Chain A
Amino acid sequence: MNIQDNYLKNKRNIFFSENKDIQNHREKLINIFQNDRFDKKNNESLKNVNLKNFIDFNYKYLNPEETSVINNNKENSYSIVSVNGQCSSFKDDKIEIIKILDEDYNDFSKNNTIENNDHFVNLNSLFLNSGFKILIKKNNNIKIKISNIVTDDDLTIFQKNNFICEEGSSLNLIEEYENKNNSMSNILNVINLEKNSYLKHFLIQDNSPNHNLIITSHSSCKKDSSYTQKIYNFSEGYVRNFHYSELIETNSEVDLQGIFFLKDNNTSNNKTFVKHLAEDCKSNQVYKGILSDRSKATYFSNTYVDQVAQKTEGYQLSKGILLSDNASYFSKPELKIYADDVKCSHGSTIGPIDENAIFYLRSRGMSKIAATKILISSFINEELNSIDNEQMSEIIQKKLVRYLSKVK
Chain B
Amino acid sequence: MNSETLNTLDTYSKNKYKYGFVTDIDNEKSKKGLNEDTIRFISLKKNEPDWMLEWRLKSYSKWKKMKQPKWANLNFPEINYQDIYYYSAPKGFEKKPKNLSEVDPKLIETYNKLGIPLEEQKVLAGVAVDVVFDSVSVATTYKGELEKLGIIFCSIGEAIQKHPDLIKKYLGSVIPPGDHSFSALNSAVFTDGSFVYIPEGVKCPMELSTYFRINAENTGQFERTLIIADKGSYVSYLEGCTAPKRDDNQLHAANVELIALEDAEIKYSTVQNWYPGDEDGKGGIYNFVTKRGLCAGKNSKISWTQVETGSAITWKYPSCILKGDNSIGEFYSVAITNNFQQADTGTKMTHIGKNTKSKIISKGISLGKSQNTYRGEVSFLRKADKARNYTQCDSLLVGNQCGAHTVPYIDSKNNTAVIEHEASTSKINEDQLYYCRQRGLSHEEAVSLIVNGFCKQVLQELPMEFAVEAQKLVSISLEGSVG
Contacts and interface: CB of A to CB of B under 8 A. Distances in A.
A301 to B, nearest CB: 11
Contacts, number: 112
Interface string A285-313: 00000000000000000000001001000
Interface stretch (B218-226, B281-289, B305-313, B418-426): B418-426
A344 B412 contact: no
Contact of B421 (A324, A333, A343): A333
Interface residues of B, number: 34
B402 A340 contact: yes
Interface string B435-464: 000000000000000000000000000000
Contacts of B76: none
Chain B contact residues: helix, strand, loop or mixed? strand
Contacts of B411: 328-331
B69 to A, nearest CB: 11
B404 A337 contact: yes
Nearest to B70: A42
A345 interface: yes
B412 A350 contact: yes
5 contacts: A338-B402, A339-B400, A341-B427, A345-B423, A352-B415
Interface residues of A, number: 33
Given A339-B400, A340-B397, A322 B425 contact: no
Contact of B406 (A322, A346, A349, A350): A346
Given A345-B422, A349-B420, A350-B412, 12 more contacts: A329-B411, A330-B412, A333-B408, A334-B406, A335-B407, A337-B405, A340-B397, A343-B426, A347-B422, A348-B410, A351-B419, A351-B420
Contacts of A320: 412
A334 B407 contact: yes
Given A325-B414, A330-B409, A340 B421 contact: no
Nearest to A316: B423
Contacts of A322: 412, 414-415
B403 interface: yes
A344 B415 CA distance: 29
B420 A335 contact: no
A142 interface: no
Interface string A125-169: 000000000000000000000000000000000000000000000
A323 B414 CA distance: 9
B395 interface: yes
A335 B405 contact: yes
B471 interface: no
Contacts of B413: 327-328
Contacts of A330: 409-412
Nearest to B367: A340
B347 to A, nearest CB: 15
A340 B400 contact: yes
